[in-house]
Structure 1
Amino acid sequence: MKVSEMPYQRITVEEFKEQAEKIIAKIKAAKSAEDLKAARDEYNKISEDVDTAASLANCRFTLNTRDEFYNAEMDYYDNAMPLFSEIENEYKKAMLDSPYRAEAEKLINPRVFKGFEMSLKTFSPEVIEDLQVENALVTRYSKFMGELAFEFEGEKMPLSVLRGKLEDDSRDVRRKAAEAIGKTMEANADTFDEIFDGLVKIRTQIARKLGYKNFVELGYYRMGRVDYDEKMVAAFRKSVETDIVPAVAELKERIRNRLGLEKIMYYDDAISVTGEMPRPVIDTPAIFDNALKMYHDMKPEIGDFMQRMLDAEAFDVEARDGKFGGGYCTTFTKYKQPFILANFNGTSGDIDVITHEFGHALAADYMFKFAEPDYPTGMETHE
């Protein structure tokens, strides 16, 4: 099935709650670990429906942030997802509190239960309204950036296209592109400040209501980090400052000499060689043709997966007005289908998408085949 053909139907909180409460009752009435696992499998099925519907709505919104129908669906999910989370955490608490948990961990990967514990640390019914505000701010930012037009030499274009000019071999073009970005951002500073300030305040409020000093600790739990903490990352940042920054500064000085510049400016940051920067010399269809060949040469099963992605039209890579300006890989769990969004702009970044985001898609495909659906991966696994 092609991604564009996947049927979308909103899942209501009421219908999900009715189904989930029956499963939670089964968990509490379980007489064995096998009963617990059966209830968990049943819950994963209804959770899959919610995840798929929300993912389809978000994806189609990001493909066209002006689409009125999916704008309305995003408004719905911004408000509904915290309510789904409340129900989900009732399920997770029932699983964790079951007297058969230890025995069930022989049937279900113990990390699933660790993931449940982590999830409970990120939520309380007390923060539902705050989460709804946070979701709305995130959606507002995505919509605003997708519709923001940048003027460059008399032409209006999305940021994703203009960024490509920051790698132009002409320093004057790079400078003008950087200035065009800056001018548009500055002209909309009030909106950016309002969204950013709103996110900082609401996330701090959520964290404090949950018993944390600030959002940092909560952020680690949200990302599913179970094997390293804030202090360890602080040590890593210090190592970046003491070891990596001096090395980068030395490399930048070599680049400055190579380019014959008196001083490297911010609009020179993406340039490392004289003449043209490496960029694709073929069009988008040819990029995909070559990627398909590369992955088949790498390993037939990877090539086969790439072909399945192409057959499903699971890529949307051309930049256009109204499209979300970043890049991501998402999944439609019910259909076991990954999907990649990107914005090609004629730079080497176009090739990066076919490796980086495709790597996420391949990992997702392996997860569908071999992992449990509620197995926690964590953000560090993603990147």
Structure 2
Amino acid sequence: MKKPIAAVFAAAAIAFAAAGPLNALKAPAVSAKEQEKYTDRASIPEQYKWKLEDMYKSKEAWEADVKKAEALSAELKKNYQGKLRRSALELKKALDAYSALSIKAGKAYIYAKLSFDAHQSSSQLQIIADRAEKMNAEIAANTSWFNPELVSIENSKIQRFLKEKGMAPYRYSILEAIRTKAHTLSSQEEELFAKLSPLSGTGSSFFEMLSKDVKLPRIKDVRGKEVLLTRSNYTHYMESKNRDVRKQAYEAYYRTLSTFQDSFAQSLAAQVKGHNINAEVRHYKSAAEASITSDNVPVKVYDQLIASVHKGLPLLHRYMELKKKLLGVDELHMYDMYTPIVKTDHTYIPYEKAKKIVLDGLAPMGKEYTDILKKAFSERWIDVYSTDDKASGAYQWGSYDTHPYVLLNYQGTKDDVSTIAHELGHAVHSYLSNRNQPYLNAGYATFTAETASTLNEALMWDSEYKQAKTKAEKLYLLNQRLEDFRTTLFRQTQFAEFEKQIHELDQKGESLNAETLKNVYGSLNQKYYGKAMVKDKEIPLEWARIPHFYNHNFYVYQYATSFAASAALSKQIEGQGAQAVQRVKNNFLSAGGSTDPVSILKAAGVDMSSSKPIDEAMQVFKETLDEMEKLISEK
């Protein structure tokens, strides 16, 4: 997760949400008709590009804020270091100064990153992005003393301070800092950690560079023409109806990866070792505890997710048997996973039509919600179309004192329409939280972030299924829903279990070489997909192409928990209407990080401290599977 400065408090992180698990790992489809109009950024009409002028009118205005943020961080250190314990007033003034610094630095940092992501071939924008990183490092060093000094204040004194006038906006953030007191190092050690922080991303950076440098071979497409296989078009070929094309792409991709498997293993092992060292130095029992509890989520939520999904694996195995039957194959291979088993409508969906589909599908959220969506569309919060030098995938990001921004790479598919709804779920979440919470309480955890986005996807699916008139339409939508469950609830839990196992192996002193990683991943893949799936020799190497393993430790489990939470909330909205919508908006979408994520979702109507939401999601999966099998059997 990107952060503009080193967050002193867990709640202080600037809200950023990457695309959901499908979009994060899935490259854009081959360009469609409307996309082909835009060969470069200059040719894209202004209404389809985000309006970064809402952040800064000029580069000079941005540079002035960068310098101001650096100066504010130096002033914070000069004026308040060693003084936080003096009085509630002194602490409040320091927190006010810290918030003002964070808001300014966050805005400057995010502007630089958004600018570069839209036009990555620009050397000038690369300079701006690098300048933002330099600012980030300087501020991190200047503020590294804050948290250790805060938590060194006696609890009795802190409790007295919290009762003083003006301290209410800072109450939860301070209590969060105290909660992690046992894991906070001395001021000098925290400063050293801040200076060493750039090294912590070395494994991740190496993975990114290696992935880009790996040159894939040519394969033959459905017409027998030789085409170059790339990371971007791989998913397109995996979705091909031609099984020979799928098999070629699959085997070529993994055959190439296998020649670099030791390098990928070293990169992943470095990340895992770094996580474990960090956990040990900060006195956590494990890297899992260090990562998961940083957001004030109990580790048991992670463990009971895996346990609950294990109980539901027979349902996934049953779905694999159905998939095998509908594909009409003697053997089911992993390269068969992404080809549609129901006839798919590939009609290009113009972006303007997609906007209407999203607005109609999210109408159950009420007028206030859809009015925000209309603002996003009309006021250019969204960067729509892809170019060769634009960042891939989709995400939402924004600073506290500006509206959110959404990056898309729209290609006109049904998945792309779903991605719009997903990212706007994040955007509305940020918009409402920023307007209802003070800065330190506005940033929300991924645990709740992905619930907001997948709730939109669930509502969109419900709307489409209600409107489906033909058997073909219903089968397509049912299969889509089953695939959502497979790729999110099951697949992300599989990823989470893989992370858990390899961190535990490293903690025991075992080598995470390529063979070890393949053995762990291959065994888990067979466990999750069951006897219907052939044990392909290639799939144990899939860990080498999953960015989340290298970028975010113990992160993907939240896709699965959020998917289950959003399934529960969408059923409540369908059954209770405006009452449930108001509860979701007031207690969840407007709550930011004002308390712990589990409590926020509980107030919205779903209790993630129990296994009930996961078990209920499994029941929905079963009902969907039952319905599809029933429709297939009908003549």
User: Which interval holds the TM-score relative to the shorter structure?
Assistant: 0.7 to 0.9
Q: Deviations over 1:11-48 (max 9, x none)?
A: 35752422322563696386545x64454233212111
Match for 1:274: what amino acid? V
Q: Deviations over 1:195-253 (max 9, x none)?
A: 3343233333333333345533322244x1x1412x44223312222x12111001111
Q: Does 1:46 align with 2:101?
A: yes
- With over 3 angstroms needed to count, the CA separation of the structure-2 counterparts of 1:269 and 1:53, relative to structure 1, is same
How far did residue 158 of structure 1 move?
5.6
Q: Which residue of 1 aligns with 2:288?
A: 216
Deviates more, 1:264-273 or 1:105-114: 105-114
Is the Cα contact below 8 Å between 1:158 and 1:320 reproduced in 2? Answer: no
Counterpart-to-counterpart distance in 1, 2:368 and 2:215? 41
Secondary structure at the residue paired with 1:47? helix
Secondary structure at the residue paired with 2:396? strand
Q: Which residue of 2 aligns with 1:133?
A: 199
Is the Cα contact below 8 Å between 1:297 and 1:303 reproduced in 2? Answer: no
Q: Which residue of 2 aligns with 1:115?
A: 176
Q: Does 1:333 align with 2:405?
A: no
- Determine what percentage of the aligned residue pairs are the same residue: 18
Q: How does 1:1-383 map to 2 (within 5 A)?
A: 3-5=51-53, 6-7=55-56, 8-9=62-63, 11=66, 14-21=70-77, 24=80, 28=84, 31-32=87-88, 36-75=91-130, 81=136, 83-96=138-151, 97=153, 99=158, 100-104=160-164, 107-108=168-169, 110-117=171-178, 121=183, 124-139=190-205, 141-142=207-208, 153=220, 154-156=226-228, 159-183=231-255, 185-186=257-258, 189=261, 192-212=264-284, 214-222=286-294, 224=295, 226-229=296-299, 231-241=300-310, 243-271=311-339, 273-276=341-344, 281-295=348-362, 298-335=365-402, 337-345=403-411, 347-375=413-441, 377-383=444-450
Question: Structure 1 length as normaliser, TM-score?
Answer: 0.80
How far did residue 338 of structure 1 move?
1.2
Match for 2:358: what amino acid? A
Deviates more, 1:111-120 or 1:265-274: 111-120
Is the Cα contact below 8 Å between 1:27 and 1:95 reproduced in 2? Answer: no
How far did residue 316 of structure 1 move?
2.9
Deviates more, 1:54-63 or 1:355-364: 54-63
Counterpart-to-counterpart distance in 2, 1:329 and 1:356? 9
Q: Deviations over 1:285-339 (max 9, x none)?
A: 431343245446752222222222223433234344343333321112232x212
Is the Cα contact below 8 Å between 1:20 and 1:91 reproduced in 2? Answer: no
- With over 3 angstroms needed to count, the CA separation of the structure-2 counterparts of 1:75 and 1:143, relative to structure 1, is farther
Deviates more, 1:114-123 or 1:364-373: 114-123
Counterpart-to-counterpart distance in 2, 1:67 and 1:192? 29
Question: Structure 2 length as normaliser, TM-score?
Answer: 0.51
Deviates more, 1:362-371 or 1:322-331: 322-331
How far did residue 352 of structure 1 move?
2.2
Q: Which residue of 1 aligns with 2:491?
A: none
How far did residue 161 of structure 1 move?
4.2
Match for 1:381: what amino acid? T
Is the Cα contact below 8 Å between 1:145 and 1:324 reproduced in 2? Answer: no
Secondary structure at the residue paired with 1:159? coil
Match for 2:51: what amino acid? V
How far did residue 133 of structure 1 move?
1.0
Match for 2:114: what amino acid? C
Counterpart-to-counterpart distance in 2, 1:294 and 1:174? 33
Runs of at least 5 residues in structure 1 that lack an aligned partner in the other structure = none
Match for 2:111: what amino acid? L
Runs of at least 5 residues in structure 2 that lack an aligned partner in the other structure = 1-48, 57-61, 221-225, 451-635
Match for 1:45: what amino acid? A
Counterpart-to-counterpart distance in 1, 2:374 and 2:251? 41
Match for 1:343: what amino acid? N
- With over 3 angstroms needed to count, the CA separation of the structure-2 counterparts of 1:245 and 1:350, relative to structure 1, is same
How far did residue 2 of structure 1 move?
5.0
Q: Deviations over 1:90-140 (max 9, x none)?
A: 334455536443315962253222333467647722323431112354455
Match for 2:393: what amino acid? G
Counterpart-to-counterpart distance in 1, 2:439 and 2:133? 23
Q: Deviations over 1:40-74 (max 9, x none)?
A: 23321211111122222333333344433444455
How far did residue 79 of structure 1 move?
5.9
Secondary structure at the residue paired with 2:267? helix
Counterpart-to-counterpart distance in 2, 1:72 and 1:135? 20
Secondary structure at the residue paired with 1:374? helix
Q: Which residue of 1 aligns with 2:608?
A: none
Counterpart-to-counterpart distance in 2, 1:152 and 1:299? 49
Size of the aligned set, in residue pairs, is: 376
RMSD after superposition: 3.6
Counterpart-to-counterpart distance in 1, 2:421 and 2:399? 20
